[in-house]
Amino acid sequence: MKRISILIGVVGALLASLLVLPASGVGDTSDVQVVHGVPGLTVDVYVDGGKALPSFAPNTRTDAIPFPAGSYEIKVVPEGGDPATDAVITQTVEVPAAGLDIDLVAHYDGSGTPVLTAFVNDVSPTGDNKARLNARHTANAPTVDIRANGGIVFGGVSNPDGGTTEVPAATYDVDIVAAGTTSEVFQADLALAEGKSYYAYAVGNLSGTTPDFTVYLFSEELGSKSSSRLAGATRFETAVAISKSQFPEGSNTVYVARSDNQVDAVAGGVLTDGPILIVPSTGDVPQVVLDEIKRLGAKNVVALGGSAAISDEVLAQLVG
């Protein structure tokens, strides 16, 4: 019997700056977690041309990122590579609507090609003394049956399918076998707690002379996510609302990024000493932005990008 270890890990919310992406409507966002399911390859993830997630390690998952509904070009590039020539995945991903909870998984398809697949999560509360189990086949491996205590829970699961079920909270002997057989490729004892949702991803490659097949498991407390909105009537007002929430006592430094292209705002998400406000590249700065800079008491205004991103005329208004 071949035992494969379960890898458990969470990456911090490095993409939190996506809160200031242009939205098609106020508060029109879904929560997206990015899951890295390609073993052995640390990557940089680009969103619409900007490096949004650097040095993203295998078998990890980001915290929830609010994405406005819309289409995004995602490129997954080996760490330090050129997105124009070195991307291992280039794919348009659709966030179809607001109010969804989505796992966006980079993984091998059934032929060993890296792809992205989106899974919509059920994050509603479970029944009393129940846990929710989500099992997803995202490995270059044959069709499998997923069993608990010897009985099939999800039968005939092929890449990139899976299943979701509620089970009594308990400890289970879980194994994965080739479909229709008892030929085991994975086994572990899993303790499933009441009120939690568990996500198990089979990832990697089961074929060849050096298989790297792994199961990645993580869990979250259902009902632990609170719902609120930081929004305004325009994208400028939304950025101001975020600034007021995160820096209620003001800030010596404020960063500004162009409003018509989110790349600089995304890249600036690693900055923590001041808020990111958005401004037009040229022309008049909205009064709501000037008022927020005054409220913050900012002594330093830092423009993200060159003069083509934010003109000298705009900078003069910001420091005037």
Question: Using one digit for the tens of pLDDT, what is the confidence trace for 149-208?
Answer: 999 999 999 999 999 999 999 999 999 999 999 988 888 889 999 999 999 999 998 876
Per-residue confidence band for 225, with pLDDT thresholds at 50, 70 and 90 = low
Structural contact between residues 172 and 189, judged by C-beta atoms closer than 8 angstroms: yes
Q: What token pair was written down for 183?
A: 């030929």
CA distance 301 to 283: 18
Q: What pLDDT shows up at residue 266?
A: 72
Which pLDDT score, from 0 to 100, does residue 305 have?
87
- Mean pLDDT confidence for 263-292: 86
User: Among 119, 123, 217, 220, which residue's Cα sits nearest to residue 172?
Assistant: 217
Distance CA 102, CA 307 (A): 37
Around 178, how many Cα atoms within 13 Å sit in the side-chain half-sphere?
9
Range from 60-69, 172-181, 241-250, 267-276 carrying the lowest mean pLDDT: 267-276
pLDDT at 14: 33
Tell me what pLDDT residue 237 has.
86
239, 21 contact by CB (below 8 A):
no
CB 242 within 8 A of CB 209: no
- For 86, the token pair is 């070195």
The rounded distance, in Å, linking the Cα atoms of 262 and 53 is: 14
> 239 or 6, which is more confident?
239
pLDDT of 11 over the 70 cut = no
Section 273-277 average pLDDT: 90
Report how far residue 280's alpha carbon sits from residue 259's, in angstroms, rounded to the nearest whole number.
5
CA separation for the pair 68, 30 (Å, rounded) = 6
| 31-66 pLDDT, tens digit each | 899 999 998 899 999 999 999 899 999 988 998 888
Tell me: pLDDT of 121 over 80: yes
Most confident of the following: 9-13, 235-239, 274-278: 274-278
CA of 101: how far to CAs of 92, 95, 167, 185, 208, in Å?
Answer: 18, 10, 21, 30, 35
pTM over 0.85: no
pLDDT of residue 129: 94
Higher pLDDT, 224 or 182: 182
Look at 203-212, 223-232, 272-281 and tell me which has the smallest mean pLDDT: 223-232
- In 3D, which of 137, 274, 300 has the Cα closest to residue 213? 137
Rg (CA), the chain: 22
Distance between CA 116 and CA 128 in Å, rounded? 35
Over residues 130-144, the pLDDT tens digits come to 999 999 999 999 999
In this prediction, residues 74-100 reach a mean pLDDT of 94
CA dist 160 and 136 (Å) reads 7
The answer on pLDDT for 22 being more than 60 is: no
pLDDT tens across 278-308, in order? Answer: 899 999 999 999 999 999 999 999 998 888 8
For the chain, the average pLDDT equals 85
